[in-house]
Amino acid sequence: MEREIAKDLFDACEQTIASLTAAEEAIRRIPDDAERRHLMQSLAGVIADVLGTIRAPVVRLYPDLEPAAALGEPDTVLDEQGLRVASSLSSADLELIDQTLLAECAPSWRKVARIVGAAMNTLQGRLPGVPDSYYAQRVAVLVQAGLLESQGNLQHMRFSEVRLSS
């Protein structure tokens, strides 16, 4: 693929993700839990597809299209509230989070953002208030434990993928 075409695809993906982020903000305001959950799950799939099947291959060919500054602050950083919630989790809660994350993984590569979103959706009623950044930290723990393989930058969910270890 020529660089000019790759740049056009990259820019289109960035515009698409910006629009989908606006849609996410609107979906979060839907009062009906089931409807909101269904739409968020659908949106997560669309975002994962755009990032994983179009944007990621373009960036692999032309890494310079994605400046390091564009990544922003790591997704794994917890704010004060997130730290309080994380410190209140029991070992059984951690096991539940880890098992749910692993259940969302496959032998093929999947975006960490997709896995985290699906796990959060599954555990929404059981572990409310646990931030996505904590789930992202647990993905990194699972990689360190050898249960998952990773590629990309695990500190940024949109720019990393994991799969079950072979």
Which among 95, 86, 70 has a CA at the least distance from the CA of 156? 70
Question: What is the separation of C-alpha 93 from the centre of its chain, rounded to a whole number of angstroms?
Answer: 20
Distance CA 119, CA 80 (A): 22
pLDDT of residue 48: 80
CB 71 within 8 A of CB 152: no
Neighbours of 13 (CB within 10 A): 19
pLDDT of residue 52: 82
**DSSP code per residue over 109-162:** -EEHHHHHHHHHHHHTTTSTT--HHHHHHHHHHHHHTTSEEEEE-TTSGGGEEE
Neighbours of 38 (CB within 10 A): 14
What is the DSSP-derived secondary structure letter of residue 75? T
pLDDT of residue 63: 77
CB 48 within 8 A of CB 113: yes
Question: 160-164 and 148-152 as β-strands: parallel, antiparallel, unpaired?
Answer: antiparallel
CB 147 within 8 A of CB 131: no
Can you give the pTM of this predicted structure? 0.62
For 87, the enclosing helix (H) or strand (E) is helix 80-87
- Which mean pLDDT values do the consecutive 10-residue runs of the chain (166 residues) have? 92 89 86 89 84 85 71 82 92 96 95 93 90 94 95 85 92
Domain residue ranges in the chain: 1-66, 73-166
Domain covering 73-166 assigned CATH 1.10.260 in the classification? no
pLDDT of residue 67: 66
